Amino acid sequence: MSPAHRPVRRSLPWLLAALSMIGPFSIDAVFPAFPLVGARFGVDAAALQQLISVYLATYAAMSLFHGAISDAVGRKPVIVAGLLVYAAASVGAAVSSSFAMLLTCRALQGMSAGAGLVVGRAVIRDSLQGPAAQRLMSQVMMIFGVAPVIAPMVGALLLSLDGWHGIFWLLAVFSLLLALALQRFLDETHPPAQRTRFAPRPLLAGYLSFGRDRVFWPLLVSSSVNFAGLFLYIASAPHIVRGLLQLSAQGFPWLFVPVVSGLIGGAWLSGRMAGRYSAKSTVSLGYAVMLLACAAHLLLALALPAPRLPWSMLPLILHGIGVQLAFPTLTLLLLDRFPHHRGGISSVQACASLMLCSFVAGVMSPLLSGDMLQLALGASALTLLGVLAWWWYYRITRRALGQPLAGVDTAAGIQAGIAEPR
């Protein structure tokens, strides 16, 4: 049965949204615990930031393999196995007796957490086509959008109950229950007849074939950088909330509520625009809104001697809207470049995005988070890079972008304007 006619369970958006929430919870729920972890193990702020960058780096590296493995053995086994490993790593983090052990468990979390996000995107594209796929992607992102604001509040609540250990116990229980739910309710969307053999040489050959596609590169850059500007503020949350705004652990919602409001609003708009507006219009509008947000950040940073609530955080709403307007369409355009290797292409996109986010968290955030103007300049530079990549893609494929996102594969996709000439 083709994806366009395969029945989709009503639970699918919720299951995929829960999978996508693993990432934000793994990062944002830990932020309020930084002072306690630092005091427990005697490490400074720079070392604590590695709890984020190590997680992201291993997440990115392993993401290169999750999708390719799912192309070979199916989507469901990879997702469920990844969640079980993640649960075990979370237990290890909760009982860590040294900072080195905690970092090791964070690395294991990163290696396994990507299975859900990477393979989940392939599940969406396996199941639906065209506007329906864009709407499902937007639904997932709307539900997922609550995670970044819930996570730090849950983390702060758990600090008063069981210290920083409770955060990792919660992650262990959540991932284990999710693994059981997926085993019961998730349908396999990649049948044996469509699977490809997993081996190093074919895998490398597949990745090289991606690289030889000239349309692949601007799409990869644009979809990877799309979130990076906003993530600079998310990764800098401990410095912004505690340092610049002088708030307690309960002050994280001042940053995360605007972010999540924008992400949910942008995902809703993207779903409404599916099938009604062209890929060019949707993504271009997203980047225009992101540029407007960057301009607002710069003006406020220049006008205010110190960040002031709520004004300094309000542009994050616009930035979130722009990210979610562009992201579903960019992701689907990239997946449609190689319809028989969606797992592999999703892996490459996730790896590139996460490596960039790891750089943002481990390098840019420590350098720029001491001043709102520096953060605004950094976010603007990242957003401009995404705009240039999208312009590059449009120059290559301008005739194919003047229509709504199509809904067919391979040769028919070329006629519909999605799989553009290479």
Q: pTM of this prediction?
A: 0.69
Contacts with 139 (C-beta within 8 Å, 6 or more apart), sequence order: 13, 17, 267, 271
Contacts with 218 (C-beta within 8 Å, 6 or more apart), sequence order: 389, 390, 392, 393, 396
pLDDT in tens, the chain (422 residues): 444 445 566 777 788 878 877 877 887 788 778 888 998 999 887 788 888 888 888 887 887 787 778 877 888 888 899 999 999 999 999 999 999 999 999 999 988 887 877 787 778 777 776 677 767 777 676 666 666 667 766 777 777 777 788 889 989 999 999 999 988 888 887 778 777 777 677 777 777 777 788 888 998 899 888 889 998 998 888 889 888 888 876 787 888 889 888 988 888 888 788 778 888 888 999 999 999 999 999 999 999 888 888 899 999 999 999 998 998 888 888 877 777 676 677 778 877 887 888 788 878 998 998 899 999 999 999 999 999 999 998 888 774 545 455 443 333 332 233 333 33
Distances (CA, A) of 211 to 204, 206, 350, 395: 11, 9, 15, 18
**Which pairs count as long-range contacts for 203-207, CB under 8 Å and 24+ apart, including other chains?**
203/65, 203/68, 203/344, 206/68, 206/341, 206/344, 207/64, 207/344, 207/348
The number of CA neighbours under 13 Å toward the Cβ of 380 is: 16
The predicted structure's pLDDT at residue 404: 53
The predicted structure's pLDDT at residue 2: 45
The predicted structure's pLDDT at residue 407: 45
Distances (CA, A) of 18 to 14, 25, 294, 300, 329: 6, 10, 30, 35, 21
- d(CA 126, CA 32) in angstroms, rounded, equals 38
| Token pair in block for residue 142 | 């709307």
Architecture (CATH level 2) of domain 13-188+200-408: Up-down Bundle (1.20)
Domain borders along the chain are 13-188+200-408
| Token pair in block for residue 179 | 């693994």
